[in-house]
Amino acid sequence: MRRFLAVIYGLVVYFFFLATFVYAIFFVAGIVVPKAIDTGRVLPAWQAALIDGLLLSVFAIQHSVMARQGFKRVWTRIIPWRIERSTYVLAATLALALVMWQWRAIPNQIWDVRGTILGSALGVLFWVGWAILLTSTFLINHFELFGLKQVWSRVQSQPLERPSLKTPALYKLVRHPLYLGFVIAFWSAPVMTAGHLLFSLATTGYILVGIFFEERDLVQAFGDRYLEYRRQVPMLIPIGRRAAEKRSAKTFVR
């Protein structure tokens, strides 16, 4: 019964995440959904910015704290480690849903390039960013990333394999293609408002901070193998392996 409940829990969390994630895509795009990043109740800009900043802080803190290995060691004393990932996904999804539910629009336009070649290119890049993100999850292990593999292995009474360093396809171009997808999608806006700009700046800043902590954990987990990977492959911008090696070498010498 516990195994069955774990699978049901993992599936419910996954489909809740999936629905929220799809809504988030349209929320940022400003289409289809009833409330988007530039619609809804409008407050004075400073009030809206304060509320939005607090919402994004909740999201960032939840991600940063629950993703750390030290927290996981303590957390798995309370909940079974097989559902730890699903619980993390649930908390992250609730935080994302809160951001979209309580988001306050700041509709002042920064740029509007609709109807131009640049606007069309940004419109295409928006969907390219989401495609890169989704592809990246499957290149590593989509179902493990969102907790389904863990709960299913409980049903089959199979031990989970020790995580290994995988660098397929896009991961040979940049170390964090998943985050690159987010950055491309968030900044590819034919219409950029002050609210959207705040969202893009804050999420990009969080991504850079998150990468710092994530790579620290990866170095602890994989040691010299990850250090070598980091020396050879750029972080987010595919500037070329040779250029990245030269840059890393200079940094190492300093």
pLDDT of residue 241: 55
pLDDT of residue 67: 81
Helices (H), the chain: 2-29, 45-66, 69-75, 84-102, 117-140, 142-145, 148-155, 177-187, 194-222, 224-232, 241-253
Domain boundaries, the chain: 2-253
pLDDT of residue 158: 64
- Report the C-alpha gap between 64 and 75 in whole angstroms: 14
pLDDT of residue 253: 34
pLDDT of residue 252: 33
pTM for this prediction:
0.87
Distant-in-sequence, close-in-space partners of 18: CB < 8 Å, separation ≥ 6: none
Task: Give the mean pLDDT per block of 10 residues along the chain (254 residues).
Answer: 82 96 96 92 92 95 84 84 89 96 95 96 97 94 85 70 80 94 97 97 94 90 91 87 48 35
pLDDT of residue 160: 65
pLDDT of residue 239: 77
- Report the C-alpha gap between 179 and 132 in whole angstroms: 9
